[in-house]
Chain A
Amino acid sequence: MSFLEVENLTLRIARGPRILRAVSLGVDQGEVRGLVGESGAGKSMIGKAILGTLPRAIQVVSGRISLDGTDLQTLPARERRRRIGAQVALIPQDPLTALNPVRRVGPQITNRLVDILGWDRSRAEARARELLDEVHIPDPDRVMRSYPHELSGGMRQRILIASAFAAEPKLIIADEPTTALDVTVQKQILRLIKEMQDRHNTALLFVTHDLGVVSKICQSLTVLYAGKVIEDTDTRSFFAAPGHPYSQALLHATPKYTDPEDSLTPVPQHVIDAVEAEVTDFDKGLGA
């Protein structure tokens, strides 16, 4: 039994198409699982479903999400919110919009501790300082007094990482946390996330469209296409030989400067047709 269990999760736009199709995946304590797929595949929706922040227009058709063996659906709404707040945290994609531009950085980290965990302010501030130190931010006091626009993108992402780990969550969902960053900064940030995850033994669901990134920090991965799980495997066997033609094609499409001939190959039409047919079959099986 993994810490996070998502079973047969199906979502749809109200009176519209399906967005997730019976998705199942699990993340263990201390495990990093990659969630891979093209844009629009439904990666962010899985994260939102777990965090309980699905947009209004999206309906849960069926499925179960459990944390540490507890089915979230069985909890009363308040308790569910409290438990998610205490056990799960998010590292968002865009470090600029995720921080409130008119508030100083310090309170934005400590508020979470004060509001959700009921810590007193001085304890929260001490913890925030300690965390900024952990994510290798020099002069934490100055940074806590800064406004977001006074800091670089990499610095802001470090702050978001610090605040994600602040309340010692059991599970972190990182939604494309390095997509907006330069490669050199991405490398530092990925290392940092990995280091923090190791130290705190957190379960990490790492959403990305980049197989290169997956190969660097994930132990296992789930490949998604049109909201359907195409492949669920461990990283080593995936990169040795992907199990599904679509995953294979995705790997060949990924840029690889060391081997330009075997990279940046568009996914062939017959592969797309085949995987589209799988999706259609799935929908037919459900009578829609």
Chain B
Amino acid sequence: MSGMIYEIRDLRLSFPDMAHKPVFGAAPQIEVLKGLSFDVPKGEVLGIVGGSGSGKSTLGRAMIRLLEPDSGTIRFEGTDITHADEPALRPLRRRFQMIFQDPMSSLNPRRRVGGIIAGPLRLQGVQDTSAKVLEALDMVGLPRSFAARYPHELSGGQRQRVGIARAIALRPDFILADEIVSGLDVSSQAQVLNLLEELVRELGLTLAFISHDLSVIRRLCSRIIVMYRGEIVENAPTAQVFDAPQADYTRELLQAIPLPDPDQIWA
């Protein structure tokens, strides 16, 4: 087996279309992922970009098996997990983690930060959770006293750090980050991206970073997948995507980004 964390072949996934469900009988299916194939080598930071509704989150959630694909295969470190059931997935779960877009809805509002970070550790039977929790807080640059706070007592950027701390506490091999800076101010965006850059370097993580915004991922990602309506229209090293995009849609995306420069030709 080569150094691939993920090998994905002809991945297809569809949802029932409730808006067009007949009164009797099953709802028609809408295909959201239309046969995707790609590999993720160990240590890579993969950017997944595309417009809203293009299927980025669905792809991410299928990769960590929050969703079950209709067909195709997903191999995680050589193991076929495409249709693995929950008991079979449980031992793998500590090895792939996810950071969510909306830190407010992904952090249980009734738990303190310490408990939120400790939850996964306890479930996976890790000893000495409180030391691990403090260590995780240190790594994401939050004061240790924050362990006693509730999520609503934090700012947006701080909440997102808690999400990151929870994901790295188990020392996973792979992390999926779904639009984790989209709701943040530019300065907090920058801080969170820098933090991720550091963690990737220090922990040797493999990271998939989903974003609808090409402009935030140039420095972080080594390779970029561009999605359009459930298909991969471009899969190339970062520099090539920015300097010599192949797909029309990639070009359109790039040209639509408003640079902070009044002289940019934006036609």
Contacts and interface: CB of A to CB of B under 8 A. Distances in A.
B215 interface: yes
Interface string A170-190: 000000000000111111001
Contact of A265 (B190, B254, B258, B262): B190
Interface stretch (B34-42, B79-87, B181-189, B202-210): B181-189
B89 interface: no
A13 to B, nearest CB: 17
Interface string B39-58: 00000000000011000000
Interface string B255-267: 0111111101010
B72 interface: no
Contacts of A38: 185-187
A258 B214 CA distance: 11
A213 B186 CA distance: 13
A260 interface: yes
Contacts of B216: 255, 264
Q: How many interface residues does chain A have, given as a range?
A: 35 or more
Given A253-B190, A257-B218, A266-B191, A186 B262 contact: no
Interface string A206-224: 0001111111100000000
B185 A209 contact: yes
A187 B190 contact: no
A81 interface: no
Contacts of B51: 182, 184-185
Contacts of A213: 258
A212 B52 CA distance: 20
Contact of B215 (A182, A253, A256, A265): A256
Contacts of A256: 215, 259-261
B193 interface: yes
A186 B256 contact: yes
A258 B260 CA distance: 11
A236 interface: yes
A213 B260 CA distance: 7
Interface in A238-288: 239, 249-251, 253-258, 260-261, 264-267
Contact of A187 (B52, B156, B214, B258): B258
Contact of B186 (A184, A185, A250): A250
B187 A215 contact: no
A258 to B, nearest CB: 6
A267 to B, nearest CB: 4
Interface in B211-267: 212-216, 218-219, 242, 252-254, 256-262, 264, 266
A253 B258 contact: no
A225 to B, nearest CB: 11
A39 interface: yes
Interface in B158-198: 185-191, 193-194
A236 B262 contact: yes
A250 B189 CA distance: 12
B258 to A, nearest CB: 4
Nearest to A268: B187
A216 B264 CA distance: 8
A67 B197 CA distance: 49
A235 interface: yes
A256 B262 CA distance: 13
Given A239-B262, A255-B186, A183 B256 contact: yes
Given A250-B187, A266-B194, A39 B258 contact: no
Given A183-B253, A183-B256, A257-B215, A215 B186 contact: no
B177 to A, nearest CB: 15
A251 B190 CA distance: 12
A266 B218 contact: no
Interface of B: 51-52, 156, 185-191, 193-194, 212-216, 218-219, 242, 252-254, 256-262, 264, 266
Nearest 8 CB-CB pairs, A to B?
A212-B258, A255-B215, A264-B190, A253-B186, A183-B256, A211-B260, A38-B185, A267-B187
29 contacts: A38-B185, A39-B156, A182-B51, A183-B257, A183-B258, A186-B258, A209-B185, A209-B186, A212-B215, A212-B258, A212-B260, A214-B260, A215-B262, A215-B264, A216-B266, A235-B262, A254-B260, A255-B186, A256-B259, A256-B261, A257-B215, A257-B218, A257-B254, A260-B219, A264-B219, A265-B190, A266-B187, A266-B194, A267-B187
Given A38-B186, A216-B264, 11 more contacts: A38-B187, A184-B51, A187-B256, A213-B258, A235-B262, A236-B262, A249-B187, A253-B186, A258-B259, A264-B194, A264-B216
